[in-house]
Amino acid sequence: MDLTLLLPLALLVLMMVFMWRSNKKRTAQQQELRAKIQPGAEVMTQSGIFGTLLSVDEASNVATLETSPGVEIRVHSQTIAHVVEPKIEVPDDASELTGDTELTGTEPSIDETDVRDTDVRENDANDANDNDGDTSNDERPKA
């Protein structure tokens, strides 16, 4: 078989496999979104309108959203782009979870690297302020 025919054929097969995979992933994402669309869910339409889903009529493809209290809009059910997941913020420490704001009696420890960094910064500031050329009090000669 001729190599010039084999290479384009291999590329064509590879392209078809990638298209099939991406189509399969997109179909799975759509099914996952449709499973999340239930009355009471907070949703966003493709045009960026946020609202609470009140009902979905599968026969006519109409979804009813409540955008603000008492305001209902009807949209095509395919325009629902995202189901808004509530963000749960977890505090850095457990004191905010328990309501205990008092310290446990332990003082914060000072890291040795913090002390060394402060000493280095103070020495650099002293060196910068010492511009008279006198090196008798310096620990190292200036270049």
Strand partners, 82: 44
If one compares 70 and 128, the residue with the highest pLDDT of the two is: 70
User: What is the rounded average pLDDT of the residues 55-75?
Assistant: 92
Give the number of other CB atoms < 10 A from CB of residue 112. Answer: 8
- DSSP-assigned beta bridge partners for residue 74: 64
112 versus 79: the higher-pLDDT residue is 79
Name the band, by pLDDT with cuts 50, 70 and 90, for residue 31.
confident
Residues in the chain, total: 143
In 16-61 the beta strands, taken as DSSP E runs, fall at 42-45, 50-57
Amino acid present at 4 = T
Mean pLDDT of the chain: 76
Q: Which tops the pLDDT comparison, 123 or 23?
A: 23
Mean pLDDT of 121-132: 56
pLDDT score of 136 = 55
Range 45-50, long-range pairs (CB < 8 A, 24+ positions): 45/75, 45/79, 45/80, 45/81, 46/79, 46/80, 46/81, 47/79, 49/73, 49/75, 50/84
What average pLDDT does range 42-62 have in this prediction? 91
Whether the pLDDT of residue 106 is over 70: the answer is: no
